[in-house]
Amino acid sequence: MAQENDIIGDRYRIITQIGLGGMSTVYLALDKTLNKQWAIKEIKNIDDPRKREVIVRSLVEEANLIKDFDHPAIPRIVDLIDDQNKLYVIMDYIEGETLTNRFRRQGPCSQKDVVDWGIQLCSVLDYLHRRNPPIVFADMKPSNVMVKPDGTVMLIDFGIAHRMGEDLGHLSYGTHGVFNLGTPGYGAPEQFAINKKLDTRSDVYSLGMTLHFLLTGSDPRQEVQPIRQYRPELSEGLEKVIDKAIEKDPDKRFQSCAEFAYALRHYQEEDRAHHRVLLLKWRSFLSAVIAALVCLVLGGGALIAENVTRNNSFDYWMSLAEHELDDEQAEAYYLRASNLQPDSIKPYEGLLNRYRNDGKFTHQEATQFLESIQDHEISLKSRQIQWAQLSYDTGLMYWFYYQGPQSSSASSDSSSLQYERIRYAGQWMQDAAAVKNFSRQPQARVYADIASFNSKVVPQIVQGTDKGQFKIYFGKIQGLIDIASESRNEVMRFNVAQFVESVLSTYPRKFRADGISQQDMLNLVDHSVALARNTASTSTSGDEIKQNILRQENDAKQSIINGFIDSRKVGN
């Protein structure tokens, strides 16, 4: 086993052990080159040459499969090291615990948490399924899901993930050297058939069984019962949703994870209690209609018509939302308006403005916002320019305002949080940049390209395929400075100045290798500092960020100068 302060691959210094399994040990390590933390999985000695060859090939194929993914819930594998008969896998470090460990620690999970995790996992699986060709994850289970302190989940271990329709012969052995194409109990029945024919609905089954276990703790290898047989207090509607997901016949399951997610968001509508409430409302409605008819006969028809028109008026609910002081009530009004005009972005822009008011876009707000959009996503996307505008504004929201519970203020913003923000924003900016007639398309392209670069740069550096990429990146961050200079938004201006200063401090040698001159880099530092200096702060946290940017000017410039000093041997 590796020890504290051991150096792996002449680059990664072991900090501490963070996990231990039957075939591997996981460490937290520091990248001496990039000054960044990674997780390192050490695969224990494998004496069988055939198994070792299969495992190495599996790891390489896993890394190649996910290298082009750009989703915040999918961690990256950035390096593979074969050293003294041991294998080391270098990957993104995720703070948190697996859902298996969460269950062991606290037992059956709350209905609210499980539904939230399920919706998030539907999102990442749907991302995989929409690839061309679709990717089947094939091993959804609690131990392959990490939950972070802010409640977001990450999907880990793509060891048997594969492109739908490809030959599965190379998947005979998983990374543990065991013949499998899934985990018994969690894997769909068709995964263990003689003629394995998997499609994306296999992942629907596995996710359904994962949620079933988290709610009940029942062994999925045995014949499971509906969830309310174990916990009667659970929702009848949720029981129906999970029962459908774990149908043995793929044709009877949800046919996509998007459909599964929709059902999870609306499970309460299937509850008997909910039906009783609707019945009472229906009876009240009938009473109102009868009274209305009487009033109409008596000459009150004009007033009734006004009330009916008002309740079905998009503008009415938008006006209520815009003037409402209570954020929760305003959100309800915006959602009412969105149901009346499903293809309008106005309610969602209103929600973004609400979230922006306090300078923070929390995980809870982000989850609520995404759920509200997903209900009308098809209608919204039918109007390309409007969808591009909403995508652009949502991307900006993530890029500059997203904060998990670990960040108490803008001044505590760390580089890890910044890169997390960029990853979340990236797909939104890609959607905006894809619409050529969108007025902000050039700006969206700058954001999208920066996000894409940041998600791929470390693996490229490790693999030695980054040549020429930093020259392009330098042009993009110059463009980012130009975009921020045109804005009066102090959060955007400070954030961009701080980000550019950090990038120039981190990669001066990479920029140099791609032909960027020292003077060009120093000039860009000057531009970023000028951007901050010429921005009027309206808050204490803004003052702190501004002063920090100004203080870091000399350090950034010194890093650039050092990047042009070549080391020389002394005495020769």
Encoded tokens for 178: 């065991």
For residue 41, say whether it is annotated as part of any ligand binding site. yes
Number of alpha carbons in the 13 Å side-chain half-sphere of residue 450: 28
**CA-based nearest residue to 480, from 458, 502, 507, 509:** 502
Amino acid present at 212: H
Say if CB 218 and CB 224 are below 8 A apart: yes
Q: What is the rounded distance in angstroms from the CA atom of residue 510 to the CA atom of residue 467?
A: 9
Distances (CA, A) of 559 to 370, 477, 504, 507, 564: 40, 18, 8, 9, 9
The DSSP code sequence of 70-133 is --TTSPPEEEEEEETTEEEEEEE---SEEHHHHHHHHSSPPHHHHHHHHHHHHHHHHHHHTSSS
- Composition of the chain by helix, strand, coil, percent to 5: 60, 10, 30
Strand order in the sheet with 36-43: 7-8, 12-20, 24-31, 36-43, 86-92, 77-83
Which H or E run includes 147?
Answer: strand 145-147
With 0-12 / 13-18 / 19 or more C-beta atoms within 10 angstroms meaning exposed / middle / buried, residue 546 is buried
- Radius of gyration of the chain from Cα atoms? 27
Q: What is the rounded distance in angstroms from the CA atom of residue 189 to the CA atom of residue 317?
A: 48
Tell me which DSSP letter residue 27 carries: E
Q: Which residue has the tokens 């320019």?
A: 385
Mapped onto helix, strand or coil, the DSSP state of residue 475 is helix
CA angle 440, 441, 445 (to 5 degrees): 120
Q: Which residues contact 120 (CB under 8 A, 6 or more apart)?
A: 73, 152, 153, 367
Say if CB 528 and CB 497 are below 8 A apart: yes
Amino acid present at 215: L
Encoded tokens for 268: 């309460």
Q: Which residue has the tokens 């679709």?
A: 134
With 0-12 / 13-18 / 19 or more C-beta atoms within 10 angstroms meaning exposed / middle / buried, residue 101 is middle
Mapped onto helix, strand or coil, the DSSP state of residue 416 is helix
Tell me which DSSP letter residue 169 carries: G
Q: What is the rounded distance in angstroms from the CA atom of residue 351 to the CA atom of residue 327?
A: 9
As annotated, the binding site includes: 41
Binding region for ATP = 41
